[in-house]
Amino acid sequence: MNVLHISAECYPAAKAGGLGDVVGALPKYLQKAGISAGVIIPKYRLRWINEHHFTSIYQGAVRLHNTYIPFTIEQEQQQSLGFPFFVVDIPGKFDRPGIYADPHTGSYGDEVERYLCFQQAVLQWIIGSPGKPAILHCHDHHTGLIPWMVQVCPEYQSLARTPTVFTIHNGAYHGNYSWDKMYLLPFFLQEGRGFLDWGNTINPLAAAVKCAWRVTTVSPSYLEELRYNSNGMEALFQYEHAKSTGILNGIDAQVWNPYTDESLAYRFHGEVSAFKTANKQALLQHFQIEAGLPIFTFIGRLVTEKGADLLPDLIARVLDSNMRVNFLLLGTGEPWMMERFRTMQQRYRGRFAASLEYNEALAHLLYAGSDFLLMPSRVEPCGLNQMYAMRYGTLPIVRRVGGLKDTVPDIGEPDGSGRGIQFSNFTLEDSFLAIYRAADLYHHQQNRFKNIQQQIMQVDFSWERSAGEYIRIYREVSGN
């Protein structure tokens, strides 16, 4: 392999968010471009992993203080993801039903130990195996100590000349913990302490930013935002600006393909109106909502980061104003939000419906059958949902942050580049006005609305362009 991607997630084997989508797609497009790439993640007790066959290729043990934890590296036999895919089996650490937490009982409480085992197991395997990767590409804080370990840990310094690239998918999570847990770390040189420390804690995200050869974020605007708002790491992102690059994510055009998508009621055959109408009819039947109105949809985690806490009051205000619209919602998250949405379904029956679950097939149908997608995010490093929506002819309504700002120019732009509707402030007033503009476009400017639908379905959000930017970085750090 030229490049080994090291991550906590990889779609479809293990996905909790956009990290999984990216790690599951980027290697496929690197392979297409002639760059051999593979992925390694922990071996969770998840359905996809349980249903596929793996072969043991390496065994070892990592040290946590005075305990040695055995592990096995396994490779998926069929290469069904389109690239070499590996898992680290660490009994007692990752053989659990969830990725980051138990779906029923919540946090596991041993994240520090779990990811220290995972990262060291990966490095031991690389050192002990022939055909070492030319580049280690690490993703988010779960793998943030790898660039540090290869620099300052004697056990792993044989990899010190192997270039490391670190991608930040969500800089809100640092993975930091108290120095009281320093005893769990592998032995390191004295200068290694300074690389670890940020805010008087052991900070894997900061360590990666300091030690990786190159740092990337998942959109140019998000990189700029981190320099001024990154939970205390602003000075570090400003200091390391020379080795940092924002690369906008792509989407997997094979998975998100309206021509072939088996989750849809009606596939795209070149006629936008027929495609949208047929899938919208399927939504009307599924959710039992009123016909003849535009459908505004939210898809995603019901958490404050995604701005979902704005939705209950926003939807209530819009519907109480007698605006002629419908709302649909798909997702899970904060219990108080889920309960609020359950109550709202009774109050606004026929105009609002929620499916409080994770349902990938229904998400595809919602993208195809909706008219507008709501993304009122407080933070959005890149955002993929708005790209999925546009691929299926649905106009995004987005807050002007991160990758949303980069990918969804407002329809009011004089150059005609508009793809959706932007609003700036996280307030009911601004978001209400955005929905009003969208409803007016739908009800009173149908020709313009349909033209925008046609335009956004033709925008190329595939990974080829983004993969090319990563390849440029790989060539810079490797000297090839």
**Cα distance between residue 404 and residue 306, in whole Å:** 12
Q: What would the DSSP string read from start to end of 324-390?
A: S-EEEEE--B-HHHHHHHHHHHHHTTTTEEEE-S--HHHHHHHHHH-SEEEE--S--SS-SHHHHHH
Look at residue 16 in the predicted model and tell me its pLDDT.
86
**Cα distance between residue 188 and residue 108, in whole Å:** 27
**Cα distance between residue 90 and residue 397, in whole Å:** 43
Rounded to whole angstroms, what are the CA distances from 188 to 149, 157, 191, 210, 334? Answer: 8, 10, 8, 16, 40
Element (H, E) at 138: strand 135-139
Q: For residues 371-385, give the mean pLDDT.
A: 96
What residue type is assigned to position 56 of the chain? S
CB 234 within 8 A of CB 224: no
Q: Which fold would CATH assign to domain 272-461? A: Rossmann fold (3.40.50)
Q: What would the DSSP string read from start to end of 227-274?
A: TT-STT-HHHHHHTGGGEEE----B-TTTS-TTT-TTSSS--SS-HHH
Q: Which fold would CATH assign to domain 3-250+464-478? A: Rossmann fold (3.40.50)
pLDDT digits (tens, 9 = 90+) for 464-476: 989 999 999 999 9
Question: Which residues are CB-contacts of 17 (< 8 A; sequence separation ≥ 6)?
Answer: 9, 169, 170, 301
| Closest among 454, 411, 396 to 274, alpha carbons compared | 454
Q: Does 156 score more than 90 pLDDT?
A: yes
What residue type is assigned to position 371 of the chain? D
Look at residue 17 in the predicted model and tell me its pLDDT.
82
Q: For residues 175-203, give the mean pLDDT.
A: 97
Look at residue 420 in the predicted model and tell me its pLDDT.
98
**Cα distance between residue 66 and residue 324, in whole Å:** 66
| More confident call, 107 vs 28 | 28
For the chain, give the number of residues: 480
Element (H, E) at 442: helix 428-444
Q: For residues 421-439, give the mean pLDDT.
A: 98
How many CA atoms are closer than 13 Å to the CA of 189, on its beta-carbon side? 13
Look at residue 101 in the predicted model and tell me its pLDDT.
87
Look at residue 252 in the predicted model and tell me its pLDDT.
85
Query: Residue 72: left if φ>0, alpha if ψ -120 to 50, beta else—which one?
Result: beta
φ/ψ of residue 245, rounded to 5: -140, 140
Three-class DSSP category at 190: coil
**Cα distance between residue 24 and residue 85, in whole Å:** 10
Q: Does 11 score more than 80 pLDDT?
A: yes
Share of the chain above pLDDT 90, in %: 93
Look at residue 103 in the predicted model and tell me its pLDDT.
78
**Kind of pairing between the strands at 106-107 and 101-102:** antiparallel
Q: Does 1 score more than 70 pLDDT?
A: no
Q: For residues 285-314, give the mean pLDDT.
A: 96
Three-class DSSP category at 276: helix
| Closest among 370, 460, 456 to 419, alpha carbons compared | 456
Q: Does 438 score more than 70 pLDDT?
A: yes
Q: For residues 210-217, give the mean pLDDT.
A: 98
| Closest among 326, 320, 338, 340 to 374, alpha carbons compared | 326
Three-class DSSP category at 207: helix
Q: Does 399 score more than 70 pLDDT?
A: yes
pLDDT digits (tens, 9 = 90+) for 234-273: 999 999 999 999 999 999 888 899 999 999 999 999 999 9
Give start-end residues of each CATH 3.40.50.2000 domain in the chain.
3-250+464-478, 272-461
Three-class DSSP category at 430: helix
pLDDT digits (tens, 9 = 90+) for 135-149: 999 999 999 999 999
Q: Does 456 score more than 80 pLDDT?
A: yes
